[in-house]
Amino acid sequence: MNAFVIGCGRWGTFIGWYLNKIGYKVTIYGRPSSKNLEELKRSRKNEYLTLPNDVELTSDLANIEMSDIVIVSVDTQSFRNVANTIKEMAKGKTIALCMKGIEISTGMRLSSIAKEILKDSKIAVWLGPGHVESFVKGIPNCMVIDSEDEDCKKRLVKEFSSPLIRFYYGTDLIGNEIGAASKNVIGIAGGMLDGLNLTSLKGALMARGTREISRLIVKMGGKEISAYGLCHLGDYEATLFSPFSHNRMFGEKFIKKEKYDSLAEGYYTVEPLVKMQDKYGVELPICSAVYDILYRNEDPSKALEKLFLRNVVKEF
């Protein structure tokens, strides 16, 4: 079994490491200018793991043709360009998307972009909680594979499952993708609470954040219960509390006015989410508060106060 991983950052490199561990012949791709790829070629290591010698490293996308499964792990806003680049090479192959985000310019989910461009490929998403730092220590977790193609979904769950990752069959592509993308925004909100020394409010944030996103999922045609599954609520521990969470750390550093250079996908996801309020006629007060703080320079304490002064409503 051959797998081609596009992306050699933290998650892409882990995926290559993991698939090699469960028996795949793996090739990891990075751009010719990628410093991550350069370091992996030099030492076989990054700050998280050491790649086995039989994992191949390449800057040539043409090597896709030797694999029947392609795993994509790039930043969300770059995905459309990647999809257009590989669309001929990827014909007839299974494409698993391992990112959590929404395209800013269109508001599209990643599987929708893939379906539009990679028309002759089978499209799946690989989502759910877990940090590389924990996985490489042998700490297991549960994740989800979802796809409109049932055979594709069943194949990937069967082939990718191991004692380290237990995969579940997803049953709601809309809900799982929106849930996975939006949990990063809730993660930033959690980090902001940490920065304000209001960590005790995270329980309320989890409860109301899940309710908020469940309403959006329903309006988009998904299932309400998906917000309470592994791709959203089930990922909160890893996103709102973990020291490894980029989104949580970004939110905390932002409040403290400290520099943070790692990618926090929630920063980009919040913009299309806020636009969805008008499109789908749904209120997203937590997402709006995060957006106002990040993009409109609203004082975080005032944004929090506005949330508390909203009209009193029934919890459910």
What is the 3-state secondary structure of the chain?
A: CEEEEECCCHHHHHHHHHHHHCCCEEEEECCCCCHHHHHHHHHCECCCCECCCCCEEECCHHHHHHCCEEEECCCHHHHHHHHHHHCCCCCCCEEEECCCCECCCCCCEHHHHHHHHCCCCEEEEEECCCCHHHHCCCCCEEEEEECCCHHHHHHHHHHHCCCCEEEEECCCHHHHHHHHHHHHHHHHHHHHHHHCCCHHHHHHHHHHHHHHHHHHHHHCCCCHHHHHCCCCHHHHHHHHHCCCCHHHHHHHHHHCCCCCCCCCHHHHHHHHHHHHHHHHCCCCHHHHHHHHHHHCCCCHHHHHHHHHCCCCCCCC
Has 183 been annotated as catalytic?
yes
Distance between CA atoms of residues 29 and 47, nearest Å: 18
Radius of gyration of the chain (CA): 19
Active-site annotation holder among 183, 219, 256, 314? 183
Q: Are the beta carbons of 171 and 224 closer than 8 angstroms?
A: no
Catalytic residues: 183
